[in-house]
Each structure stands twice: as C-alpha cells, then as structure tokens.
Amino acid sequence: MKHCLLVSQIYMMYHLFAFVFRFNDLIAKNSILQQFLENENFNTHTNNLIALKDLEANLVKLEVSLKDTAKEKDEVSADVAELQHHIKLWISKIAFEKQTQVYNIPTFKFLECLLSFV
C-alpha cells in the first residue's frame, strides 16, 4: 500500500510539475506578447502624434493662406469699386461731351454770331 501511495504521489508530482512548467511557459508567452503590445502601442501613439503635428502645421498654413486670400479679395474688391467709379465718371463725361457737341455745330455758332450783332 505504501508503494501505491508513493506511486500516486509521484504521479501527482509529475502532473504538478507539468502544470507548473506549462503555467511558466504561458507566463513567458504572455510577457512577450505584453511587451510586443506595449511597443506597438508606443509606436502607434508616436506615429499618431507625428501625424497630428503635421496636420496642425498644415492647418496653420491653410489659415494663413485663407487670411492672405481674404486680404487679396478685399484689395481686388476695392480696385473694382474704384474702377466702377471711374467708369461712372467717364460715362458722365461722355454724356456731357455729347450735350456740349450739340452747341459746337457750325450752324449754331453762325446763328450765335448773328445774334451777337443784333
């Protein structure tokens, strides 16, 4: 009976050692995977930060470009308004010139001269 008990204990010890060995193997694999995931997480985080900084720099450039374009638009609008004012002045000048040309007809000048003698 002692012999049976001893064999049973040896058998249990063998399974216990096998279980501990398997458990240690799984812990080692888990540690490796955990380290891998930590590295991947760090790399992903770093890449995302770099991408965000690039996007932020592009956004700043776009904002500056937008402000410059708005300023240029305002300048062009002012130039257009000034040109429209000049066009109106020229239209008025042409209309005035047409009205005064009626009085510059030679027959009218002749009649004007005749009336001045009377």
Residues of the chain with pLDDT under 50: none
- Please tell me the predicted confidence (pLDDT) of residue 16: 83
pTM metric for this prediction: 0.50
Question: If you write DSSP's letter for every residue of 53-97 in order, what string do you get?
Answer: HHHHHHHHHHHHHHHHHHHHHHHHHHHHHHHHHHHHHHHHHHHHH
Question: What pLDDT score was predicted for residue 58?
Answer: 97
How far is C-alpha 100 from the geometric centre of its chain's CA atoms?
A: 59
Domain limits, the chain: 2-117
| pLDDT value of residue 105 | 57
> Quick one: pLDDT at residue 90?
92
| pLDDT score, position 31 | 86
As a dihedral over the C-alpha atoms of residue 73, residue 78, residue 79, residue 83, rounded to 10 degrees, the angle is 140
Check residue 48 and give its pLDDT.
97
| pLDDT tens track for 28-49 | 888 888 899 999 999 999 999 9
Q: What is the pLDDT of residue 76?
A: 97
The predicted pLDDT at position 87 comes to 93
